[in-house]
Amino acid sequence: MNKLLQKVKDIKKDGCVTIIMNTHRTKPENEKDSIQLKNLVSETEKRLHEEFDKRDVWPIMENLNKVIDDIDHNYHLDSLVLCANADFADFTRLAVEVEDRVVVDDNFATRDLIRSLQQNNAYYVLALNKHKVRLIEAFNDKLVKEWGKPFPLDNYLYTTDTEKLSHGDHQDRLTEEFFNRADKDLWENTKDHRLPVLLAADARNQEHYMKVCNEKEAILGHIRQFPEDFSAHEIIQEAWNEVHSIMQKKNEERMGELRKAVSQQKYFSDINDIWTGIHNGQGATLFVRKGYFHPGIIKDNKIELVDESRRSEPGVMDDIIDEMIEANRSFGGDTVFIDSDDMEDFQNVALVTRY
C-alpha cells in the first residue's frame, strides 16, 4: 500500500486539505510545477478562509507550507498528492496522470492513491541470459530507471571449458545457481518497492529461472531475450506491449465480474442505491469510470449531485465518488477504475453486491 494512503486512510477531521496535480519528470517542463503548486496553494488558502475561522486556517497552512519546502521538483513522476490538516502533512509522488484540483473535506481525498495502486502499471523487467542479469523499472511505456548495485549481475560461475560445456547438465546447474543468486538479489533489493516482474529471456533461460524463483506469483509474463547492448529504453518499448496486453486482459476479466453480477441481479447503478448498499455492508466491488468526478451533497443519508460550478461552496463535497470509494473501503470492499466506453451503460459508476 502507498505509504501516504496508509497514513491518511482513517483520518477523519474537519479541514483536511488534499492538493492533487500533474507534474513533469524532466526539464524544462518540471520548472512549471512549482508555479502550478503555488497557484493551488493560493486556491487552498482562499477556500479555507471561506469555510473556517482564521485561527483554524493558520495551523493547516503552516503544516502545508512546511511539507512544500521538502518537495524537490527535480524528482517528480507524473503527479503529486499533498495532504495536510492542523495535525498532519505529507506528500507522495504517483506514476499516474490526475486532474489538478484542491479538495477540502473532513477526510483526505484518496481516490488517486487507490487508483495508482489498482492501475499500477509499474513493473520491473528482469533481462537475463547466462552471462548477465539487468533490472529495469518502468511505468507503462516510460523508463523509470535501470537499477544499479548489485545490478547488473555478471555470471562469475560461467565457464568456457569445452569439456565442462560438453556436459549440458553441468552448465544447466551453473546457470540455475547464477539465476538463484539473481533472484535473491532481486527480492532483497526491492522488498520496500515490490512490483510485478516481466522476464526478458529466451525459453531455456526462462525455464531455468522459474525453477529457482522464490516468488513465482510475482512473475507477470515474459518477452524475448535482448542483446546485452540494448538500451533500457529499447527494452521497455517492447516490454510495454506485453504488459499492456496483460493489463487489458485483467480489465476485461473485471468487467466480466460486473456483467455476471448484472445477470444475477447482484448490482446497483443508481447512485443512491449504491450509497445505501455500501452502508448496509453489501458492497463487494465499486466500478468507477476513469476520470469521473462529481460534486455532491449528502443530506439525510441521500446523495444530491450538484453542478460543477458549486464544487467549492461550503457543504458541497468536491467529489462524491471519492466519498463512495472511502465508504466502500471502510466496509471491506474494493474499487476498480474502468475505461469510459465500458461504463456507458452504468452511468459511470456501479456496485457489485455481496448478496
Residue ranges of domains in the chain: 3-118, 122-251, 265-353
| CATH class as words, domain 122-251 | alpha beta
Greater model confidence, 70 or 120: 70
Mean confidence (pLDDT) of the chain: 91
pLDDT-derived band at 159, boundaries 50, 70, 90: low
Q: Are 306 and 319 in contact (CB under 8 A)?
A: no
- On the CB side of 195, CA atoms within 13 Å amount to 24
**How far apart, in whole angstroms, are the C-alpha atoms of residue 288 and residue 350?**
7
Q: From the centroid of its chain, how far is CA 67?
A: 22
The per-residue pLDDT for 193 is: 81
Dump the DSSP string for 124-153: EEEEE-SSEEEEEEEETTEEEEE--TTPSE
- Phi, psi torsion values for 317, nearest 5 degrees: -80, 130
Identify the CATH assignment for 265-353 out of 3.30.1330.30, 3.40.50.300, 3.40.50.620, 3.40.190.10.
Answer: 3.30.1330.30
- pLDDT band for 235, please (50, 70, 90 cuts): very high
* Predicted pLDDT of residue 163: 55
Residue 237 has pLDDT above 90, yes or no: yes
Q: What pLDDT score was predicted for residue 272?
A: 97
pLDDT tens by residue, 284-311? 999 999 888 899 999 999 999 999 888 7
Query: Rounded to the nearest 5 degrees, what angle is found at the Cα of 180, between the Cα atoms of 179 and 181?
Result: 90
Comparing 122-251 with 265-353, is the CATH topology the same? Answer: no
Report the CATH fold assignment for 3-118: 3.30.960
Is a pLDDT exceeding 80 seen at residue 158? no
Exposure string of 269-294, with b = 16+ CB inside 10 Å and e = fewer, is bebeebbbbbeeebbbbbbbbbebbb
**Predicted local distance difference test score (pLDDT) of residue 251:** 83
Give the whole-number percent of the chain exceeding pLDDT 90: 69
C-alpha torsion 24→30→32→38, nearest 10 = 80
Supply the pLDDT for residue 119: 60
Using the predicted structure, report yes or no on whether residue 353 has a pLDDT greater than 60.
yes
pLDDT of residue 171: 84
pLDDT of residue 181 exceeding 90, the answer is: yes
The predicted structure's pLDDT at residue 135: 98
* pLDDT exceeds cutoff 80 at 160: no
5-39: per-residue pLDDT in tens? 989 988 999 999 999 999 998 889 999 999 999 99
Q: What is the pLDDT of residue 161?
A: 55
How large a percentage of the chain has pLDDT more than 70? 95
Burial class (CB in 10 A: 0-12, 13-18, 19+), 139: buried
Lowest mean pLDDT: which of 117-126, 131-140, 197-206? 117-126
Which whole number is the average pLDDT over 337-344? Answer: 80
Q: Is the pTM of this model over 0.75?
A: no
Instruction: Please check the confidence at residue 340 and state whether its pLDDT lies above 70.
Output: no
